[in-house]
Structure 1
């Protein structure tokens, strides 16, 4: 943010305000200064002192800060209040309305050269785009926010939310390995540079858990969860702590610790509910539904997942809604409502593409394949499995590839194509042994906890 304008800009501003008010240079100068001083100031040939500017501001009837910077008095405070309101609008599910609010803030921030507010508005627009499923647009906003902060020499911890947003956009687009690279390289730079900001580190560790799990790097996901939990007591932002609890629940689920996972999700849901963060609360309902489904409590699972789906549909959170819809379809199929499940899955696929929600689309095809197999339609089942396989291979989601190859191999074997089945099994075994910390390179440096 500028501290003050140059003398030429200040001089022009003084002259314009003086003329607007019908004052002569003598009237503006008296009693402390001379008309010649005012003339020199207006010409931009002198750098006025704070005392002189306060005198002139008083004579002109404007705030000292407005005369110094050209910004109306209280502008920064008013814009900060509007920024808070935009965040609240987004949190309660109004991504479209929040985008309009952030867009207006961005325009004003650019008009008045408020670099830090411009970066915040761009970050908010990126979050709105993620919520709406516009991943490429979201990436561009995050990149602009990051560049804005870099130009103003903001430290790396201040740039972490924009970096994390960019990584999440790549993750949701199915670019898992690049998402992990962005998160890990930033963690490494923070920790090696001694920039142990707990908020920034917690945000990055919590965000890395999802891509790690999808890539099959369960050991590294568990380590990230452990570090996030250790950092949490030093973090003041309850929304960030809630996000951490939701992410950690994924590692607990993978280890079969369902009771602990449900407890972690309950903590997150309580925080989100108190903060009125609607989309995040909906995601907690989704994950609790998943926990109940894993525990065989299908009726409770369906209730949680329908709640999540309704909340995400109301807030138009497209990709998150698709994720919840796939889980609900799985529960419906297991409860005998396969027709409703298939209809829900086809609706999901209509909203997705290989570049937008590839992992979710693969999960939908996988489940449609299982439903087709149950209906004895082996051709349709094979088609869905192959589509899912292509999407997962492109995304690098090794965590799900091994299971999918097993399903495809079993189908091929039952239909007499033993050689093709063996190829599918070998592919699955390759993905089962490949993922993990060894395929991701060295782990990033850790904070001194």
Structure 2
């Protein structure tokens, strides 16, 4: 049934409940034939006529439009607000439950925008719980619907990000390029720069550094043109990633620290924590002598992530970076504790991060002289990496695994894994 059919049916139902004829409802402002056409769905009443009919029928305009009373609409909006608040406060399981319960409310069926808001909130809550496959399913279902331009970009950002987190890099690229890669690109805005940042991360992880460098320059120009903090953060961070990938370490840290400074002044707590964690990880790679500074940043980020709607992937990633910091500092017991803490937060959908956690555990056990444990963790690294498609990130993990095997004295095995790393990198 069309919207006009449903509106007409509700008017007819309430009129009969009130014991009125079409002529009685119409008099004196309307004709009874016009009311008949409205009730049959052959005419769409204007907002003024709808408001008049609601007054005559002694019912809410909301009911005639959506099939829910004003009180029911208020309850739905209140429930949606509580679910969003739970997500923002980091109560991700409660948020997931609240969004799910709201979607089960039959009164939401005819409220397209509110239902889409609820489904999008559920997707974010499910992602935060670590169920990336379910988040993808919800977002793809939303993507197939008729959405507002703002909602379509928001869904694309989330879907591109979740595909990347689940190591489905080609799918992540497709989602971003569907909006930004066409012959006629929409005018840049904050949300489109954010989508561009998400797409660029997929380029980087897949090893398409040429496209990443070109796109990073476009984003910097777009951010300069917009002059907004949100666009600046995305652009500076992307510039940092590209600079690091091309061997300009100190330049990359400079870009990253600028992004963090802007985010700290204007951003949401979750995003501040995420970028703080990323800057600390970059410091560990580029400036390992500053390991204690990086470790303090990671500990602060971990505390911030625990108080926000951060996903389990974010929290696990923070623990893995802390494990890396402990290894650099020579505190192997601490590295093992953080490595296991990171693993406990993962659900099996982020295979690359699982492999990274096992790799760090292997290094920590090897440094302690526990060869059997170290080899067991290396075996787990291979199991997690084997099903993944070739990418720059996966190649670097294979290479690190080969180095660890060589350290443990498995020269023959390390040669095979070095070859796997080179093949993965396309060399």
Q: Do Structure 1 and Structure 2 share a fold, with TM-score over 0.5?
A: yes
Cα-to-partner distance string for 1:30-86 (whole Å, 9 max, x where unaligned): 44457x658846863874754765544333344556545545469889967876665
What does 1:36-435 align with in structure 2 at a 5 Å threshold?
A: 37=33, 40=36, 44=40, 47=43, 50=46, 53-62=50-59, 66-67=63-64, 70=67, 72=69, 86-87=83-84, 89-103=86-100, 106=103, 111=108, 113-149=110-146, 158-189=151-182, 192-196=183-187, 198-199=189-190, 201-233=192-224, 242-254=233-245, 255-256=248-249, 257=251, 258-272=253-267, 277-293=268-284, 294-295=286-287, 296-315=289-308, 317-353=311-347, 355-395=348-388, 396-402=390-396, 404-405=398-399, 407-408=401-402, 411-412=405-406, 415=409, 418-434=411-427
Q: Distance in 1 between matches of 2:419 and 2:155?
A: 40
TM-score between the two structures when normalised by the length of structure 2? 0.81
Q: Distance in 2 between matches of 1:79 and 1:231?
A: 39
Number of equivalences: 417
Q: Distance in 2 between matches of 1:222 and 1:423?
A: 32
Aligned-partner Cα distance in 2 for 1:185–1:11: 39
Alpha carbons 1:359, 1:397 under 8 Å: kept: no
TM-score, normalised to structure 1's length? 0.77
Give the Å deviation of 1:204. 2.8
Q: Which has the higher contact order (CA 8 A, sep 6+)?
A: 1
Aligned-residue Cα RMSD (Å) equals: 3.7
With over 3 angstroms needed to count, the CA separation of the structure-2 counterparts of 1:269 and 1:253, relative to structure 1, is farther
CA distance in 2, matches of 1:328, 1:144: 37
Checking the alignment, whether the CA contact within 8 Å between 2:366 and 2:408 is kept in structure 1 is: no
Q: C-alpha separation between the residues in 2 aligned to 1:383 and 1:46?
A: 72
